Amino acid sequence: MTRVRVLLVDDQVLLRHGLRKLLEIEDTIEVVGDAADGHAALRAIPECRPDVALVDARMPGMDGVELIGHLSREHPQVAAIVLSTFDQDDYIFGALRAGAAGYLIKDCSPDDLVAAIRRAARGETVLASPVAARLVAELRGVPVISSAGHEKLSAREIEVARLVSAGAANKEIAARLYITEGTVKNHVSAVLRKLGLRDRTQLARHFNG
């Protein structure tokens, strides 16, 4: 069976090493290189000739979305899968519009990751369940609730903000929205920053006022 050649692109050294260890035990996958950012990835591709690039969304220099755009134009034979902590709309839809073959969240299981790599190499699209749900909602035209300042927020950020305002803890929000607690914290921080609020108490007053 032909091995799927994989390039790892992530600015975190420990994560790249961990992914390499995880994937190298698979008979049908070969890790042919790794890179710390998009620029390094583009330099590596002619030599390592990957079938699949596993790409982090947020990186210094050139982020995952920009890298995927370059891959689509310059190396269309490489299927790019985003593997990210963030499930924000701008990353998800930006990556898919740029030509990504898939979008996974970093808390996915090793089996799901391996299966996604194999499917992407066959030309299939692979999406984590929360990402697929967001895409379906977008295609259906589900409206984003808007009021003072809320137009700055994504649909998911508004969901999180309303649950925070209702008194839900991060763990409860994560369970209800099928995301990680770390992702909830990222959304809360983004909402506070975008709305110019100091803490969760001010956020609750803003949404309940």
Q: What whole-number distance in Å separates Cα of residue 66 and Cα of residue 104?
A: 17
Q: What are 81's strand-pairing partners?
A: 54, 102
CB 21 within 8 A of CB 29: no
What length is written for the chain?
209
pLDDT digits over 191-209, tens only? Answer: 888 888 888 888 888 877 6
Residue 84 to residue 26: CA distance in whole angstroms: 22
Specify whether the CB–CB gap between 6 and 41 falls below 8 A. no
Task: Give residue-wise pLDDT tens across range 148-172.
Answer: 556 677 778 888 888 888 888 999 8
> What are the angstrom distances between the C-alpha of 189 and each of 83, 89, 132, 174, 178?
21, 15, 24, 15, 18
Check pLDDT > 50 for residue 146: no
Residue 4 in contact with residue 30, Cβ under 8 Å?
A: yes
CB 105 within 8 A of CB 73: no
The whole-angstrom distance between residue 204's C-alpha and the CA centroid of its chain comes to: 28
Q: What is the pLDDT of residue 105?
A: 87
Q: What is the pLDDT of residue 136?
A: 66
Would you place residue 16 in the very low, low, confident or very high pLDDT band (cuts 50, 70, 90)?
very high
pLDDT value at residue 142: 46
Flag whether pLDDT at 87 surpasses 90.
no
Per 3-state DSSP, the chain is made up of helix, strand and coil in percentages (nearest 5) of: 55, 15, 30
For the purposes of burial, counting CB atoms within 10 Å of the CB of 4, is it exposed (0-12), middle (13-18) or buried (19 or more)?
A: buried
- CB of 206 closer than 8 Å to CB of 197: yes
